[in-house]
Amino acid sequence: MCRSLGKALRVAGKPVHAAVSGMTRHVRSAVLFCPVAVLLLLSITILSSCATVPAVVAPEGFAVYERQNDFLAVSPEGVRFKVRYEKNEPEQDLEFWKEALEIHMDGSGYEKLSSDTFETADGEGFYFEWVAPVGQEDWIYLTAVTVHEEWIAVAEAAGSFPMYKKYRERLMKSLESISRPD
């Protein structure tokens, strides 16, 4: 999933297309096409937008990994559950982010299995469940969003179909525990 829904990659405070327009042709080509430069720019964007570990309760039976900018929990069978905060830029409502995520995932080749809303202590969120082949198995990929004024919480979970199904209710309960950043 795109690390930042709708957020333009920026260089020196300008969108990439504006920042590179004043560069020489050779420098511009290196910045736009060099994988190292792209990864560096993405890393800077990601690190600057993720400032706080989300407040969320891990699904029962999942091990929690201490991380600096996101919440990660993994089941014994490898089902992963991750939550992070992103700046709500440009500031939009839940319906906007729902439509943006659906368009992005459909365009990326995922097949929508289901979608619904859920309630947190701070308001409403939505989730999609997608199916995609991974090797010889079908995997389920959950994407969920809640909006907290200037922040959005983005949750993701993934696992093989039988393992995801085993933990689905626990994952849904964890989604409901997501709260706004401090």
Minimum mean pLDDT among 25-29, 72-76, 95-99, 104-108: which range? 25-29
* Cα–Cα distance for residue pair 29/63, rounded to 1 Å: 44
Token pair recorded at residue 99 = 């439509």
**Domain 63-176 coded CATH 3.30.499.10:** no
* Cα–Cα distance for residue pair 20/14, rounded to 1 Å: 9
Minimum mean pLDDT among 14-23, 69-78, 152-161, 165-174: which range? 14-23
> Dihedral angle at the C-alpha atoms of 161, 163, 168, 169, nearest 10 degrees?
150
Is-contact 153 54, C-beta < 8 A?
yes
**Residue 116 pLDDT exceeds 60:** yes
Is-contact 144 127, C-beta < 8 A?
yes
> Dihedral angle at the C-alpha atoms of 87, 92, 93, 97, nearest 10 degrees?
-70
Rounded (5°) CA angle 181-66-38: 80
Label residue 134 left, alpha or beta by phi (over 0 means left) and psi (-120 to 50 means alpha): beta
Q: How confident is the model over 120-159, as pLDDT tens digits?
A: 988 899 999 999 999 999 999 999 999 988 899 999 999 9
1: Cα separation from own chain's centroid: 6
Domain ranges of the chain: 10-49, 63-176
* Cα–Cα distance for residue pair 98/94, rounded to 1 Å: 6
Coil, strand or helix: which one is 179?
Answer: strand
Sequence-ordered list of residues with C-beta below 8 angstroms from that of 147, at least 6 positions apart, any chain: 88, 92, 93, 94, 97, 123, 125
